[in-house]
Structure 1
Amino acid sequence: MHSFSVSPRYLAASLVKNWRLMFDLGRRDAVGRYKGSALGILWSLLTPLLMLCIYTFVFSEVFKSRWGGSGAQTASKSEFAVVLFAGMIMFNLFSECVTRAPSLILSNSNFVKKIIFPLEILPCVTLLSAMFHMCVSVFILLIAEWIIIGSVPATAFMLPIVLLPLCVLILGLSWALAATGVYLRDIGQTIGILVTALMFLSPVFFPVSSLPEQFRSLVYMNPMTYPIEQSRDVLVWGVSIDWARWGAYSCIAVVIAWLGFAWFQKTRKGFADVI
Structure 2
Amino acid sequence: MQTFSTSPIEMLASLWRYRQLAMQMSKRDAIGRYRGSIMGLAWSFFNPLLMLVIYTIVFSGIFKSRWGVDTNESRADFALLLFVGMIVHGLFAECVNRAPTLILHNVNYVKKVVFPLDIIPWTALAAALFHAAISMLVLLLVQLILRQALPWTVVLLPVVVLPLILGVMGMSWLLASLGVYVRDVGQVTGVFSTVMLFISGVFFPISALPPAYQFWVRINPLAVVIEQCREILIFGRLPNMLTWSILLVAGLLLAWLGFAWFQKTRKGFADVL
Aligned residues: 273
Cα shift at 1:74: 7.4
What's 1:101 paired with? 99
CA distance in 1, matches of 2:214, 2:26: 37
Please give the alpha-carbon distance, in whole angstroms, between the structure 2 residues aligned to 1:73 and 1:273.
Answer: 62
Alpha-carbon shift at residue 250 of structure 1 (Å): 0.4
Find the aligned partners of 1:224 and 1:9 in 2 and give their Cα distance.
25
* 1:146 alignment partner in structure 2: 144
C-alpha displacement of 1:151: 2.1
Aligned partners of 1:68 and 1:74 also within 8 Å = no
Q: Deviations over 1:128-183 (max 9, x none)?
A: 00111011101100011122333211100110101111100010000000000100
Q: Aligned ranges for residues 18-57 of structure 1 at < 5 Å?
A: 18-57=18-57
Distance 1:76 1:221 in 2: 30
Q: State the 1:229 CA deviation.
A: 0.4
User: For residues 175 and 8 of structure 2, what CA distance do their matches in structure 1 show?
Assistant: 19
Aligned residue identity for 2:54: I
Displacement of 1:221: 2.2
CA shift for structure 1 position 205: 0.2
Instruction: Say which of 194, 197, 221 aligns to 1:196.
Output: 194
Question: 1:121 is matched with which residue?
Answer: 119
* TM-score normalised by the chain length of structure 1: 0.97
C-alpha change, 1:178 and 1:273, in structure 2 (3 Å) is: same
Separation in structure 2 between the aligned mates of residue 73 and residue 132 of structure 1, nearest angstrom: 35
For 1:219 and 1:66, the matched residues in 2 are separated by 20
Q: Please give the alpha-carbon distance, in whole angstroms, between the structure 2 residues aligned to 1:208 and 1:74.
A: 20
- Tell me what 1:80 maps to: 78
Contact persistence 2:121–2:172 (CA under 8 A): yes
Give the whole-Å Cα distance in 2 for the aligned partners of 1:228 and 1:73: 23
Distance 1:175 1:136 in 2: 25
Ranges of 4+ aligned residues in structure 1 off by more than 4 Å:
none
Please report the TM-score for the alignment, with normalisation by the length of structure 2: 0.97
| Counterpart residue identity of residue 120, structure 2 | L
Query: Counterpart of 2:238 in 1: which secondary structure?
Result: coil
Structure 1: which 5+ runs fail to align? none
Counterpart position of 1:211: 209
Alignment-mate amino acid for residue 23 of structure 2: F
Q: Which runs of 5+ in 2 are unaligned?
A: none
Shift of 1:73: 9.3
CA 273–219 in structure 1, closer or farther in 2 if over 3 Å, else same: same
Which of these residues, 241, 244, 254, is aligned with residue 243 of structure 1?
241
1:125-204 equivalences under 5 Å are 125-204=123-202
Q: Distance in 2 between matches of 1:59 and 1:147?
A: 21
Instruction: Give me the whole-angstrom Cα distance separating, in 2, the residues matched to 1:73 and 1:152.
Output: 21
Local SS of the residue matching 2:155:
helix
In 2, Cα distance between the equivalents of 1:232 and 1:73?
A: 18
Q: Distance in 2 between matches of 1:193 and 1:254?
A: 25
